[in-house]
Amino acid sequence: MPQSYIKRILDARIYDVAVETPLDYARFLSKRLGNNIMLKREDLQPVFSFKIRGAYNKLRQLPEAEKARGVIAASAGNHAQGLALSAQALRVKATIVMPRTTPAIKVEAVKFRGARVILHGDTYDEASTHAQKLVKEKGLTYIHPYDDPDVIAGQGTVAMEILRQYNKPIDAIFVPVGGGGLCAGVAAYIKYVRPETKVFAVEPEDAACLKAALDKGRRVTLPQVGIFADGVAVAQIGKETFRVLKETVDGVITANTDEICAAIKDVFEDTRAINEPAGALALAGLKKYVEDSGCENQTLIAINSGANTNFDRLRYISERTEIGEKREAILAVTIPEKPGAYKSFLKDLGKHNITEFNYRYADDDKARIFVGIQVSPDQQDRLEMVERLKSKDYQVVDMTDNEMAKLHIRHMVGGHAPQVDNELVIRFEFPERPGALLNFLNQMAGRWNISMFHYRNHGSAYGRVLVGMQVSKKERGEFKQFLKELNYPFWDETDNEAYQFFLG
């Protein structure tokens, strides 16, 4: 039973390396959302993440013989740094296996703490498999990032601090979930001490392994996970964490990339701190809860779990924020190809500001524009604007929720290519490392003509590519087999209206 964690959490001795982080009142958010919003600032830990708590608690519980042999973990980020600092403090040799795609800033941070770093594979799973191999070969002790009672108990000290710091009624606490260690520890403690307080798990829409498990009544493995919020990009919830969470959480809330980006901005505006995507996930869930429930004057707490993000990702985060806040609409609009047409469009648009405008001449009759328009957070404003434009005989397609349009098309609006036939459009994600794009092209080249290509990297571990390829109908079966053998996540976007509207 989860009650068994209470003594473990109370006995956790973590403050040799961890700090008691503040519970900050978010004054701007509170005013805007009409509730008492507070942020638990785990981004202020020495390794900029709560992971130090569980790693240290686990390490100090190990028998001396196991400490002497050394410890090992597989991690692409926060657990690696937490374990490295813990091992340094306890004078234990630590080896961290990290995917080769891990950003250099994280690799150097782990080395700085004195741990040995081994770069292996492109994914966490490949790194984890290699770590388990070294466990058998070297007799090292594996320190799991979340699915371990001592790790869970260490993370549960976050809840103990919250209740000590705020002794008034708390309506709900929002906790980010990857493998579930933090949420299991927090939920076990909160539900024992303050059962009336709701605990909501928050996951990215494209990595919702806890939600999938609760829906099925058993742990399942997601066929694919999104990697934007890399700190919570886990395909299967932990065995022990699921045992605890299915008895303690009051629900699961999912947030998309745009909502997470908007939450990063919210944290910045209230604290001047920049969270990583996983770090702002709980706040994204809190905002969604307020919107869906219509609650007012409640005390709501979000755990800001970490701030280990690459500086070069900020451009992408900023770009997506306005959409996440529902302050920008992305529209594809057909206007007459004649002088004064754009001016007339702006008049018909009314008082809305233009945030982006992309256009290229296509033919003598009609022009198709890709336009970003500032709207109020009230979704009704966007819907009314679209209907108003349609009533004035504009052909309008709302692409605000079209992922391909936001990732690629907004940077590619350049007109149609009527001479290109049999074009298939595929969107890929592939592991990002030096030479990765060249390797990708080498695997694709020589069999079918590439008719369109757009590549973007946002400082993350994965590159994103949109490719047009000319494939005759009789070769479609062979092409499908090729995609399968390529072994990269892909989406067929040939029928996507953004492509059809601007490039098809």
Nearest to 379 by CA among 446, 328, 447: 328
Three-state SS string over 421-478 comes to: CCEEEEEEEEECCCCHHHHHHHHHCCCCEEEEEEEECCCCCEEEEEEEEECCHHHHHH
| Secondary structure (3-state) at 404 | helix
Residue 459 tokens read as 């400082």
Count CA atoms closer than 13 A to 313's CA, side-chain side: 22
Residue 362 DSSP SS3: coil
The whole-angstrom separation of Cα 74 and Cα 368 is 49
DSSP H or E segment with residue 254:
strand 251-255
Catalytic site residue 51?
A: yes
Three-state DSSP at 49 gives strand
Q: Is 163 exposed, middle or buried (0-12, 13-18, 19+ CB in 10 A)?
A: middle
Burial class (CB in 10 A: 0-12, 13-18, 19+), 378: exposed
**And the tokens for 94?**
């630590």
Q: Which residue reads 């299991």 in tokens?
A: 184
Report the distance separating Cα 200 and Cα 360, nearest Å. 47
Residue 452 burial (CB count, 10 A):
19
Torsion of CA 322, 327, 330, 336, to 10 degrees: -130
Neighbours of 70 (CB within 10 A): 17
Respond yes or no: is residue 4 known to be catalytic: no
3-state secondary structure of 236: coil
The enclosing H or E element of 95 equals: strand 94-98
Q: How far is CA 86 from the centre of its chain?
A: 26
Cα angle value 228/233/237 (rounded, 5°):
155
Q: Which of the residues 40, 49, 51, 58 is marked catalytic?
A: 51
Task: Tell me the one-letter amino acid at 210.
Answer: L
Residue 227 CB burial class (10 angstroms; 0-12, 13-18, ≥19): buried
Catalytic-labelled residue, pool 75, 305, 451, 460: 305
The two structure tokens encoding residue 123: 């994914």
Report, as residue numbers or ranges, the catalytic residues. Answer: 51, 305
